[in-house]
Structure 1
Amino acid sequence: MAITLTLIAIVLFSCILADKFSGKFGMPALILFMTIGMLFGCDGFFKIQFDNYDFAEKICTVSLSFIMFYGGFNTKWKTAGNVAGRAICLSTVGVLITAGITGVFCYFVLHLSYAESFLIGAVLSSTDAASVFSILRTKKLNLKNSTAPLLEIESGSNDPVSYLLTMIGIIILNGGKLTNLPYFTFAQIVYGIAIGVIIAGLGIVILTKTSLISDGLDTIFMIALIIFSFGVSTAIDGNAFLTVYLLGIILGNSKIKNKKIMIPFFDGLTSLAQILIFFLLGLLAFPHKFVAIIIPSLFIAIFLTLIARPIAVFSILAPFKCSYRQCLLVSWAGLRGAASIVFSIMVVASGRDVPFDIFHIVFMVALFSVAIQGTLIPYVARKLNMIDDNDDVRKTFNDYQEESAITLMRMYIPKGHNWENKLVSDVNMPTNSLAIMIKRNGDTIIPNGDTKILGGDSVILSVPSYEPSGKENLEEVVIDKNHSWCDKRIQDLDLPENVLIALIKRGDESLIPDGGTYIRRNDVVVTYR
């Protein structure tokens, strides 16, 4: 027991170090997690014999459910909503096209059976957002034309479709009745959506309308909600991955309390899940078998990257009048990752001897995809002139926060203000706030208790940050160059009567606005409704 726990700790330490140094090599840490798994495996240094696909399937399925939940939970719908239509088309019709074309290639070129070809296409039809965004976040690269949120929604929502195709492929491989497929497909989609929406609504009511969940137990409640929704959906033949993804989308974009605490918690939990999946992939792999499957795997990876994926992307995005540069970048960014790995393990664990080595084929395709495509994403994006250096890709996600150690607020003191001609020590300042400087006629004064405040001064206060309880209708609006409020005065905006602009965050300052205040690009406008 002690040796096992020590090995687990060593694995985790190794993966943490791999994640730290991966950015220097310009590739996702996930590929290094695979390598660590192989080093511990039967052909590695530690010679651990592990080939229990049933156990691996259970662990990886649970891990993938948390990854998919967080993919939805961290999606900022206000940023991604304008590209949701084309993203969903990519994640549904695009997956079917990719799977179909890849399956045809495997059947006619690699001479696999119909069922085997179908499964290869199904398992490899989804893309992996974690691999793409680990690169974009590390390099702080934002992509033009809302490409980042497009990839985010597509990659998060195409896994359930790939899972559905994989399950159909397993049924075909195991000689199941094809007459059951229509109902199976109906149940997967309809029950999967219904359970996700119902449980998300129940969760929102409990978190916002009741006091059933004590402070500090919010994250535990969310974990229970994920497991419960996954279990219920599976029990009635719904698509459990679709269920948890919708659960994440709805909860992540609702006004639940302590969301800023939940996001870093699930970010860490998801990182652990990714480490586990890719480490198990490496542990299950037998490198001595690579020689036999490296050529067909390379053919599949090349065909998928240069033919199947581009055909799917251009056929979907061209009607939306997306530029060819955006289509090329979206095509290149379609990396294979965690979901494909888990689905290949499901095939092997399905209870029937698979006549071809799907697991090692998926391993090699994922390895080629992450190592070559992933490493070259920044280069390809720059060559296509698709990088917006004036923005930050992190704003695409719900976990984005302005990088400021303290919150600053500027108070302008007009003539006649009750602070005018008073000493700093004599004024009633907001609780726990501190006057750290005074702007006066272009000069900056560092005040003390004996400093007199004059009319026309701007007093800069440091104030404690505030975490909404979830009952207030507070909303943050990020102003980009295309926003209708950009470079306009508040008094010129056509705001509903029940909406008030309460605060403007500009850089490291928080401004209390009036009607004459101009809203600028990159401002974060806080509205109260």
Structure 2
Amino acid sequence: MRQTWMPPTADGGAGTGFDLDDLTLALLVGSIVLVVAVAAVRLSVRSGLPSLLIYLGIGLLLGEDGFGILYDNEQLTQVLGYAALVLILVEGGLTTQWSGIRRSVAPAAVLATVGVGVSVLVVGVAAHLLLGWAWQIAFLVAAVLASTDAAAVFSVLRRVPLPRRISGMLEAESGFNDAPVVLLTTALAASLIPGAEPEPWWQVGVMAILELAAGSVIGLAIGWGGARLLRGVATGSSALFAIGVVSVAVLAYAAADVVHASGFIACYLAALVLGNLRLPHRPAVLGFATAVGWLAQIGLFVLLGLLASPDGFSDVLVPALVVGTALLVLGRPLSVIVSCAPFRMPWRTQAFLSWAGLRGAVPVVLATVPLTVGASGVDWIFDLVFVLVVVFTIVQAPTLPWVARRLGLDAAHHRVDLAVEATPLSDLGADLLEIDVGPGSRVAGVRVFELRLPVGANVALVVREGRSFVPRDTDVLRHGDQLLVVAPQAVRDVVEKRLRAVSRGGRLADWSGA
């Protein structure tokens, strides 16, 4: 039986006090964990695995079977988990370009709602038939697993050179689907409370629609209003301005939740609006939001690793493999097919979307909900979801680049924003873009002047085989080159369209093909 660790009181007895000695110990352990977590990112990049697995491993190592830290507080884990998810969604919204997901919003919204329902239905039926679980338990586990994870998607897919519609759809889906899954999981868990009468399914559906709609309106309104306010009070302090932007997005969550609307969809949409309204100090805002997002991820995954009980993993391994396989080969593909059918997406795109439904922190956090609401007979769900997420993340994440190549979906070039603190660039209204010239790009063989970028946009630097140089107009670009392009904010979108056109059509690409 696990025992909950309680810090000692001043007189040496067990209690809830927290003195300076406890603070020193907490800072010592916390700082070591953060340093190790930061160093572990290199391993994550090289292996292709999401960093969440490393952080979960750190938590397990610190736990009862490792260094002996005893932690067994599901309520605190859920509270801190929700707080971390808010910050992760805010970071995702602020760093997502509307131009990259605009064409993907409609199918992503359908996949995050109708697709979730299909996934829960299919996986729930499979779990009931294959494992003999009661219907309520089967559907509860299926609901917990229905949400793709924003942290896993943002950390893995942004390193995979995908067409913008596919990457945008996966990012938007991971931002949208937390809200309906939280509502569904809470309703199903409440039905397992002893003596509780389950609400009619149609009533749960209507409430979910109303809460999502209200949360969306609140998020968009606070994002737009907050942007106008921040633009009017902006000062020369980029750090202070960044705090204000993140605070407005968090405010959207709190405001929506107070009126019983969906806070998760509100904070994501508010952050999406804030991140795409050309606010001042954008590099500082993105840098701060990314740092906060990383800190939330590290803290959340380490905490979840601490809460997990390795002794119970062997008991849930087989059910986890059965449910995970049903989700991977039946639930996710069918949800993609049903959701994408109205949009006539190619089968290759649907195949990749089916394989790329990464699970992560969200299902593990939601696995604490049945325990905190008082549902009976569900203590094992947390360990099952934990094992399932670890196993299937190891299976799916490293193979995503290979699957994209086999399906012919790897993009010819890859563009990322650079979160660089560059006040002169901000003052000039310019952005700095990094362009990777991939193996299939027809940018290779094109001279710099043949890119025909808009007036004011220039290739400022080329990195080739570890050597950097300032290119001349007549220099020929090659496969594997990394370009740093400085573009006025007013023509940024035109620059990206032009580069995509040249990447597809070479030096003779017409502007109309952009």
**TM superposition score normalised by structure 2:** 0.77
> Could you say what secondary structure the match of 1:125 adopts?
coil
Aligned to 2:120: 99
Change (3 A) 1:7 1:391: same
- 1:7 aligned residue (4, 24, 29): 29
Structure 1 residue ranges without an equivalent (≥5): 407-463, 491-500, 513-517, 525-529
Structure 1 residue 507 displacement after superposition: 5.1
From the superposition, tell whether residues 101 and 502 of structure 1 become closer, same or farther in structure 2 (CA, over 3 Å).
same
In the superposition, relative to structure 1, how do residues 286 and 402 fare at CA in structure 2: closer, same or farther (>3 Å)? closer
Q: 1:182 and 1:35, CA in 2 relative to 1: closer, same or farther beyond 3 A?
A: closer
* 1:438-457 equivalent positions in 2, closer than 5 A: none
Structure 2 CA distance for aligned equivalents of residues 511 and 214 of structure 1: 24
Secondary structure at 2:349's aligned position in 1? helix
CA distance 1:369–1:182, shift in 2 (3 Å): closer
Q: Where do 1:138-149 residues align within 5 Å?
A: 140-144=159-163, 146-149=165-168
State the 1:522 CA deviation. 5.5
**Cα pair 1:129 1:151 within 8 Å, conserved:** no
Counterpart of 2:9 in structure 1 is: none
Runs of 4+ in 1 over 6 A off after TM superposition: 474-482, 486-490
What is residue 280 of structure 1 aligned with on the other side? 303
For residues 24-58 of structure 1, give each alpha carbon's deviation from its aligned partner in whole angstroms, at most 9, with x where no partner exists.
223112111111111111122x1111010111111
Q: 1:149 offset after TM fit, Å? A: 1.3
Question: What CA deviation, in whole Å up to 9, does each residue of 1:142-163 have, x standing for no partner?
Answer: 1136311121111221111211
Could you say what secondary structure the match of 1:142 adopts? coil
Q: Could you tell me how far 1:265 is from its partner in structure 2?
A: 0.8
1:244 maps to which residue? Answer: 267
Answer whether contact 2:336 2:354 (CA < 8 A) is retained: yes
Alignment-mate amino acid for residue 375 of structure 2: R
SS in 1 for 2:373: coil
Aligned-pair identity (%): 29
- Deviation track 1:10-36 (CA, whole Å, cap 9, x = no partner) reads 221221222222222231121111111
Task: State the SS of the aligned residue for 1:231.
Answer: helix
Structure 1 range deviating more: 188-197 or 205-214:
205-214
Q: Distance in 1 between matches of 2:298 and 2:74?
A: 17
Residue 506 of structure 1: SS of its match in structure 2? Answer: strand
After superposition, residues 146-165 of structure 1 pair within 5 angstroms as 146-165=165-184
Match of 1:448 in 2: none
Q: Distance in 1 between matches of 2:238 and 2:53?
A: 38
- The residue aligned with 1:324 is 347
| Pairing 1:47–2:68 present | yes
> Per the alignment, do residues 285 and 489 of structure 1 end up closer, same or farther by CA in structure 2, a change over 3 Å counting?
closer
- For structure 2, list consecutive stretches of 5 or more residues without a partner in the other structure: 1-21, 443-448, 462-484, 489-494, 503-514
Q: Measure the CA separation in 2 of the matches of 1:35 and 1:332.
A: 24
When residues 85 and 49 of structure 1 are mapped into structure 2, their CA distance, relative to the original with a 3 A threshold, is same
Query: Do the aligned partners of residues 109 and 181 (structure 1) sit closer, same or farther apart at CA in structure 2, a change above 3 Å counting?
Result: same
- 1:265/1:362 Cα in 2 relative to 1: closer, same or farther (>3 Å)? same
- Which structure carries more helix by proportion? 2
Deviates more, 1:379-388 or 1:288-297: 379-388
| 1:322 counterpart SS class | coil
Is the 8 Å Cα contact of residues 160 and 400 (structure 2) preserved in structure 1?
Answer: no
Distance 1:510 1:279 in 2: 39
CA distance in 1, matches of 2:92, 2:377: 31
Q: Please state if 1:74 is matched with 2:95.
A: yes
Q: Which residue of 2 aligns with 1:438?
A: none
Q: Indicate how the Cα distance of structure 1 residues 15 and 511 shifts in structure 2: closer, same or farther if over 3 A, else same.
A: closer
Q: Work out whether residues 487 and 521 of structure 1, in 8 Å CA contact, stay in contact via their aligned partners in 2.
A: no
More displaced, 126-135 or 56-65?
126-135
Query: Once superposed, what is the RMSD of the aligned Cα atoms?
Result: 3.2
Matches within 5 A, 1:65-464: 65-137=86-158, 140-144=159-163, 146-174=165-193, 175-176=196-197, 178=199, 181=204, 184-210=207-233, 216-388=239-411, 390-392=412-414, 394-395=415-416, 400-401=417-418
* Partner in structure 2 of residue 505 of structure 1: 458
User: What one-letter code is carried by the residue in structure 1 that aligns with 2:290?
Assistant: D
* Structure 2 CA distance for partners of 1:83 and 1:229, relative to 1, 3 Å: closer
The structure whose Rg is larger is: 1
Deviations 1:161-207 (A, max 9, x none): 21121122123223255166366325422321222122112211211
Shift of 1:385: 2.0
Change (3 A) 1:468 1:149: farther
Measure, in 1, the Cα distance between the counterparts of 2:207 and 2:500.
47
Cα pair 1:506 1:522 within 8 Å, conserved: no
Return the alpha-carbon distance in structure 1 between the equivalents of residues 456 and 246 of structure 2: 34
Deviations 1:383-425 (A, max 9, x none): 222212x311x44xxxx0399x99xxxxxxxxxxxxxxxxxxx
CA-to-aligned-CA distance 1:191-224 (integer Å, 9 cap, x gap): 2122212211221121123458965421222343
Give the stretch that moved more between structures: 159-168 or 289-298: 159-168
Change (3 A) 1:186 1:152: closer
- Taking structure 1 as the reference length, the TM-score comes to 0.75
How many residues are paired up? 436
CA distance in 1, matches of 2:219, 2:292: 21
| Contact kept? 1:123, 1:162, Cα under 8 Å | yes
